[in-house]
Each structure stands twice: as structure tokens, then as C-alpha cells.
């Protein structure tokens, strides 16, 4: 099917395939997916090459239109998406990215940095499921902004060429925020903190599942923060393996609930962390009584 539309907000390009997404996203403007895409239909040798903006002065917005793109194997040393340097964050919204395999790739999103300005993709109202098993060729597996989304990540990340592995590693992303998002992890042998928070915020989120640190990893923290109070009004309901502390580098939290049945006592730091039991963490009234303001994320 042919691409229609003019690429404006009121008349977006209407796209139907990976090639059409790549073509319209490259040039900037607005696009909307008109159907589901199963990448298995492109043949067993298909690999997703980076979909990114070419011109540094434009941005792109892709509306999945409630559809899914699934069974995505990102090519080695590639990202799934990339954005421009000067025009601000591009956007992927309103749909599902399912069964994304990032082993061997650089990661989900290519961040761009110039003269201290860092930008990335904003994922808005997206359901994402990803596997990060295998060799990771860059330490930033997930970056950019997430809001109003659901993210499931599984796998056993291995060493990359610089040593170690990572999940969310924001790398000083001043335009990065993670809000109103539900995370579910099933990770073994992690060699990076779950969230590396530097000059960004993580707010109104729920974090669930299992997260096992590699025995030889020396920084077993849930968050690596940079002396700023940007971990706010979240619920951490995670089984950790060998965690040393919730946070590192002197940062603090605000109104965040942690499950003391799943996080060892030694891992608590900061007087503003609200410690609850497993039974209390699913009880909205109990959380309100303890001063927790955001409970709709538990629904």
C-alpha cells in the first residue's frame, strides 16, 4: 500500500510497513500506523535497522494508532529508534512494541548529545516487552522518556565491550522523565543499577518483579542518583538479589513506598522512604494512611 497524507499533525502520513515507517520517520513530521505489523512476516533473516531522523533540525512523531509491532529483532550495533540533536525529543505513542529482542544491539533508543544537551525518544502510552539476553554492544540499553506506559523486561545481560551491562542508564539526559509507568522485571545477572538517575525524574511509577545482581558486580543499587530528589511517589515491589542499598551517591526519595518483605533491611536509606509489608502495598487505604499520594498506579 502507498503512503498517503502530507506529514502534518492534522494530515499525518499513513504508513503500513517497517519500510514506510523508516521512510517517513527519517524525514520528520507526523505519521500514523494503519495496521498491525508482525516482523516474522518479513522472513527469518529480517533485522530491524535503526529508524531515526536524519535532519538534526527536525523531529518525528509516530502514532501507532492502537496497533502493535511485534517480533522485532534489532540488528547488531543498531538501535531501534533514534532522534535528532537540535529539534527536541521525537515521539512514539499509542500502541504496542512486543517481543523486542535487543541482544547484540545498542539498545532501544539512540540518545544524541551535543554541548551538554541530551535528547532521546519519548515513549507515550506504549506497551513494551523486551528481551536483553546476549551480548549488549552499548551500556545504554534503555534511554529517553517513558510516560503512561507499561514496560516488561526480561533476560540475562552479558558483558559488553566496555565491561558490564545496564537497563535504564540515562547518561545525564536533562530532557528525560519517566512518569506514570508500570515496570515489570525478570532479570538475572544484572551488572548495572536498575535505574541510573542523573538530572531526570522517576515519578508516579510502580516497579515489580525480580532483579538479580551478578555476584561480582560492585554497585548493587536500585538507583544511582546524583544528589537530587527525583525519585518521587513510586512503589517499589521488587525481589532483589544481593542488593546493597536502594540508592547510591547521596540522593534521596520523596513519598516512595518500598516493600520491606522483598528488600533487605540493609537496603533502606533515607527517612522519607515509606516501608510497608506485602499486604499493605496492595491496599490503597493503607498507603493513604501512610501519606502516599499516588495509588491509582496500583490499579
Is 102 a domain residue? Answer: yes
Give yes or no: residues 94 and 144 share one domain: yes
Picking from 176, 207, 235, the residue at the C-terminal end of a domain is: 176
Give yes or no: residues 131 and 260 share one domain: no
Cβ-in-10-Å burial (0-12, 13-18, 19+) of 19 comes to exposed
Give yes or no: residues 110 and 217 share one domain: no
Give yes or no: residues 210 and 238 share one domain: yes
User: Given this model, what pLDDT does residue 163 score?
Assistant: 55
What does the pLDDT look like over 128-150, one tens digit per residue?
A: 999 988 766 665 677 778 899 99
What does the pLDDT look like over 90-135, one tens digit per residue?
A: 899 999 999 999 887 878 887 766 555 556 788 999 999 999 887 6
Give yes or no: residues 219 and 157 share one domain: no
Picking from 176, 209, 230, the residue at the C-terminal end of a domain is: 176
Structural domains of the chain, count: 2
Give yes or no: residues 159 and 264 share one domain: no
Give yes or no: residues 223 and 163 share one domain: no
Instruction: Report d(CA 106, CA 119) in Å as an integer.
Output: 16
Picking from 150, 176, 202, the residue at the C-terminal end of a domain is: 176
Q: Residues of 171-187 as b/e, b for ≥16 C-beta within 10 angstroms?
A: bebebbbbbbbbbbbeb
Range of the domain at 91: 38-176
Give yes or no: residues 164 and 51 share one domain: yes
Give yes or no: residues 121 and 209 share one domain: no
Is pLDDT above 70 for 182? yes
Is 16 a domain residue? Answer: no
User: Given this model, what pLDDT does residue 219 score?
Assistant: 76
Report if pTM > 0.75. Answer: yes
Q: Tell me the CA end-to-end span of the chain in Å, nearest whole number.
A: 40
Amino acid at each position: 500500500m502507498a503512503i498517503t497524507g502530507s506529514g502534518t499533525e492534522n494530515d499525518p502520513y499513513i504508513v503500513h510497513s517497517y519500510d514506510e515507517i523508516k521512510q517517513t520517520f527519517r524525514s520528520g513530521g507526523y505519521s500514523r500506523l494503519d495496521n498491525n505489523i508482525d516482523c516474522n512476516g518479513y522472513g527469518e533473516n529480517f533485522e530491524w535497522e535503526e529508524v531515526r531522523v536524519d535532519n538534526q533540525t527536525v523531529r518525528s512523531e509516530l502514532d501507532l494508532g492502537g496497533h502493535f509491532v511485534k517480533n522485532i529483532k534489532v540488528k547488531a550495533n543498531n538501535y531501534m529508534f533514534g532522534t535528532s540533536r537540535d529539534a527536541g525529543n521525537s515521539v512514539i505513542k499509542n500502541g504496542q512494541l512486543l517481543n523486542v529482542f535487543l541482544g547484540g544491539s545498542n539498545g532501544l533508543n539512540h540518545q544524541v548529545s551535543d554541548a551538554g544537551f541530551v535528547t532521546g525518544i519519548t515513549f507515550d502510552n506504549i506497551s513494551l516487552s523486551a528481551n536483553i539476553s546476549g551480548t549488549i554492544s552499548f551500556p545504554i540499553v534503555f534511554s529517553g522518556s517513558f510516560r503512561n506506559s507499561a514496560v516488561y523486561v526480561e533476560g540475562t545481560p552479558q558483558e559488553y565491550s566496555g565491561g558490564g551491562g545496564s537497563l535504564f542508564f540515562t547518561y545525564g539526559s536533562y530532557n528525560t522523565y519517566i512518569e506514570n509507568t508500570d515496570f515489570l522485571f525478570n532479570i538475572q545477572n544484572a551488572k548495572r543499577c536498575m535505574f541510573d538517575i542523573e538530572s531526570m525524574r522517576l515519578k508516579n511509577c510502580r516497579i515489580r518483579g525480580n532483579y538479580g545482581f551478578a555476584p561480582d558486580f560492585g554497585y548493587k543499587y536500585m538507583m544511582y542518583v546524583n544528589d537530587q530528589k527525583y525519585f518521587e511517589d513510586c512503589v517499589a515491589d521488587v525481589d532483589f538479589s544481593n542488593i546493597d542499598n536502594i540508592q547510591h551517591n547521596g540522593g534521596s526519595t520523596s513519598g516512595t513506598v518500598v516493600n520491606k518483605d522483598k528488600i533487605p533491611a540493609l537496603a533502606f536509606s533515607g527517612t522519607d522512604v515509606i516501608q510497608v509489608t506485602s499486604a499493605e502495598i496492595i491496599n490503597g487505604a493503607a498507603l493513604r494512611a501512610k501519606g502516599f499520594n499516588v495509588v491509582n498506579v496500583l490499579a
